[in-house]
Amino acid sequence: DVKVTQSSRYLVKRTGEKVFLECVQDMDHENMFWYRQDPGLGLRLIYFSYDVKMKEKGDIPEGYSVSREKKERFSLILESASTNQTSMYLCASSLPGFAGDEKLFFGSGTQLSVL
């Protein structure tokens, strides 16, 4: 069974802290993505990666960075957490070029609260 695993289900951090969100997929997918979900705004793309050590900015990259040192792992980093980064963070992976119908496989999400 295919799986995208996010390391934490809930996180509470303080303003100014450096935060790491980890994501691992076991499907040997080239593409990995980080989205955040906010009420009324849907899913917005933060960063994505097509290959190891490659990264591309999404629609809302400000305040975030990413790391992909291994194919199966994609980390999202909040350099200095702020309250407006309180959100549900969703990691996803896919094959390149959207082969087939199932474009993205998502993890269960990390609910981050920044106090």
Partner 1 sequence: DQQVKQNSPSLSVQEGRISILNCDYTNSMFDYFLWYKKYPAEGPTFLISISSIKDKNEDGRFTVFLNKSAKHLSLHIVPSQPGDSAVYFCAADYGNKLVFGAGTILRVKS
Q: Which residues bind partner 1 (CB under 8 A)?
A: 4, 9, 31, 33, 35, 40-45, 48, 50, 58, 90, 92, 96-98, 101-104, 106-109
Rounded to a whole number of angstroms, the minimum distance from the CB of residue 6 to partner 1 is 8
User: Smallest distance, Å, CB 15 to partner 1?
Assistant: 26
Q: What are phi and psi of 30, to 5 degrees?
A: -75, -40
CA 99/CA 95 separation, integer angstroms: 7
- Rounded least distance, CB 16 to partner 1, Å: 28
